[in-house]
Amino acid sequence: MPATTPPATTAAEVLAELAELEDPKIRRVNERHGDDHGVNLTRLRAVAKRLGRQQDLAVGLWETGDTAARLVALLVCRPRAFGRGELDAMLRGARTPKVHDWLVNYVVKKSPHAEELRLAWSADPDPVVASAGWALTTDRVGRRPEGLDLSALLDTVEARMKDAPDRLQWAMNECLARIGIDHPAYRERAVGIGERLEVLKDYPTPPGCTSPFAPAWIAEMVRRQED
């Protein structure tokens, strides 16, 4: 007898599986960070790994609007399958920080539209959208800095980071630190900007972790590189 193809997993079936994994304690912790789901991320990743790449399923899961389902969608999708307009609409509708971060890091960075979106988002008046542009810029600073005006980026950080809304401020601070870590010619200036602005200087940092305060972050990462 010819082999039969197993039926495709539906979005409803994935939602039901995620509902069984829901943990009220995890939800309470996540909600303090703006994320409205209660699924352990290790278990969520295991679900995605079992499903494998399924673009149609990813689209269906995204359309549910459920945060946990959207996280699975971002793990099982094919990043290059999304058009520029689709990615822009997805970012603007991402709602929660974790979905926003995974969309940028797991999907947009792998898209052929990444550079075009970086430029558009960086100039967007919505600070959450702009933070995605800065995240993409930080990625370029570290991996493909050719063509970037690092001095101009530092000018913008120096002028705007202090009074930027939280998520945009965090993204700009990451860019500041990355410039200082990866580009010795700009390190002294990056450290000086961080010292003057004092952004995240008093951020609570657990023992053994690196402070997000740019001068401390730069110093620690440079030390590790030298070691």
Instruction: List, for residues 42-88, the tens digit of each pLDDT value.
Output: 999 999 999 999 999 999 999 999 999 999 999 999 999 999 999 99
Q: Exposed, middle or buried, 161 (CB in 10 Å: 0-12/13-18/19+)? A: buried
In the chain, % of residues over pLDDT 90? 93
Distance in angstroms (rounded) separating the CA atoms of residues 76 and 50: 10
Max CA pair span of the chain: 74
Backbone dihedral region for residue 5 (phi beyond 0: left; psi -120 to 50: alpha; all else: beta):
beta
Q: Look up the pTM and report it.
A: 0.92
- 178 contacts 141 by C-beta, under 8 angstroms: yes
List pLDDT tens digits, range 12-40.
999 999 999 999 999 999 999 999 999 99
